[in-house]
Structures are given as structure tokens and as C-alpha cells.
Amino acid sequence: MPYPMIALDDLAVRFGGVAALSGVTFTAGASEFIGVIGPNGAGKTTLFNVISGMVSPSAGAFRIDGVDLIGQRAHVFNRVGIARTFQTARVFRNLSVRENVEFGLRLPGRRGGRARHLRTEADDLLDRLGLRPQAGLTAGSLPPTRQRLIEIGMALATNPRVLLLDEVAAGLTQGEAKTMASLIRDLRSERDMCVIWIEHNVEVLMRTVERVLVLHHGEVLADGPPARITKDPVVIDAYLGETAVD
């Protein structure tokens, strides 16, 4: 039996005396589409920080595709196939949009061909995300909503097996959020990758993903298909409240 793509076992992260995550056990398969919800401070971003290698867990086991990566530096996590975006977009602000997207393609050993392939591959990505018209502009000059798209491009350029999206629909109107959701859905099936998506826009998220993980006070409150999560009394009580989506 193949290993799960991501396997967290009784994982804990503590900052000083504060437990950001505790007892988190969670596995994700190779092409799953998972949404992560929970109130602010529930530990969602910390979960991403662990999976992307930016924070080392204080306790518990953590494997990616069967490989124990605890103690490794962040670039190793990317090389086994983890790529992410950030809640506050972190693009290379003073580089052009094209250079941002090219970065993941340019790393030595990642690309068989040379410069000409680089250009077409970057063009394809820019086209796919609708960023081609802004390719020559400095990334930092674009508004946050555009910067999130650049970040998705940067992540995709590293050809990930797991894409972690941290609130990529924040600040979008409901219509734009839906467009973003269908873009993500399409990208995931085109590339057959696992997507884990943190989003506050629960309505759009629930309609898009196949499985939802609910975090609360650093613990897993619920884990299951959206239809069940929206009806789960514990989740409604803790997070969704009376205005739950149906």
C-alpha cells in the first residue's frame, strides 16, 4: 500500500507556553482536495508552516510520502513536492511578475531544457493565471489580489505534488471568489496534485472541496466531506454558528 502524501500523527507546536497545535492527526492522499476552516487563531496557518517546513513541530510524527522530514530545512520540503502561498502574499516585490514565476522553474536540476524552455514554460503559467499582461511589471506594485495569483504561479512553477493555499480568495467579491475556486479546481485536476486550501469564505470553500478539516484551538474539531461538516452540531456550535451554509 502506498504511503499517504501527508501524514501527521499526534502533532504539536508550542510557542513558549502557547499551544498553537496539539494532538493533530491527519492524513492526506495524493490527489485529495481539502479545505481547512476554523476561527482566527485556530492554528490553520501554523499547520501550513509545519507542512511547508517553516516551523518545526514540538512533538509528534510527520511524514511526507513516507519520508520523515523533521529537522530538515524548508527547501527540502519543497523538493519533495510541497509548495505554498502565504496569507499576506509574499512575492519578490522588486522583481518582475515574470521573474517571480520563473524563479521556481529556474532552480538548477529542476528543468531539463535551457532558456528557451524556461520562457515558454513561464509564458504558459502566466497565461494560465491571466498574468501575461502584467508580466513585465514589478510584483510589489500590483494589488494584493493579483499578488496572490503570482504566488500561485510561483508555487506551481516548482511542480508541486501538494499545493497549500492560504486564503487566496481573501478580499475578493463573492463572484471573484467563485472564479478563483474554479481556477483552483481546474488546476488541481490538470496537474493531479493534492490541494489543501485555508479559506474564510466558507460558502465558496464548501462548494469546491471534497473534504473539510475544521481546526479549533489548535485541535482537529472535525474532518469529513462538506455535506457532513455543515451539519455537524459541534462545528456549527464552535464555528459556523446559526448562519451555516446548507
Binding stretches for another protein (CB under 8 A):
52-54, 73-75, 77-79, 83-84, 86, 90-96, 99, 102-104, 106-108, 110, 130, 133-134, 136-138, 140-143, 145-146, 154-155, 157-158, 176
82: three-class secondary structure by DSSP: strand
For 179, residues 6+ apart whose C-beta sits below 8 A from its C-beta are none
Smallest distance from another protein to CB 118, Å: 9
Smallest distance from another protein to CB 36, Å: 18
Smallest distance from another protein to CB 229, Å: 29
| C-alpha–C-alpha distance, residues 157 and 135, integer Å | 15
| C-alpha–C-alpha distance, residues 102 and 119, integer Å | 8
163: three-class secondary structure by DSSP: strand
Smallest distance from another protein to CB 157, Å: 8
Residue written as grid cell 476552516? 37
Smallest distance from another protein to CB 219, Å: 26
Looking at residue 206, the DSSP 8-state letter turns out to be H
Residue 10 or 176: which CB sits closer to another protein?
176
Grid coordinates given for 126: 502566466
For 100, residues 6+ apart whose C-beta sits below 8 A from its C-beta are 91, 92, 139, 150, 153, 154
Residue 2 or 113: which CB sits closer to another protein?
113
Residue 134 or 201: which CB sits closer to another protein?
134
Smallest distance from another protein to CB 155, Å: 8
Question: Which residues face 34 on adjacent strands?
Answer: 196, 211
Residue 25 or 96: which CB sits closer to another protein?
96
Grid coordinates given for 96: 518582475
| C-alpha–C-alpha distance, residues 44 and 40, integer Å | 8
Residue 71 or 133: which CB sits closer to another protein?
133
Residue 167 or 232: which CB sits closer to another protein?
167
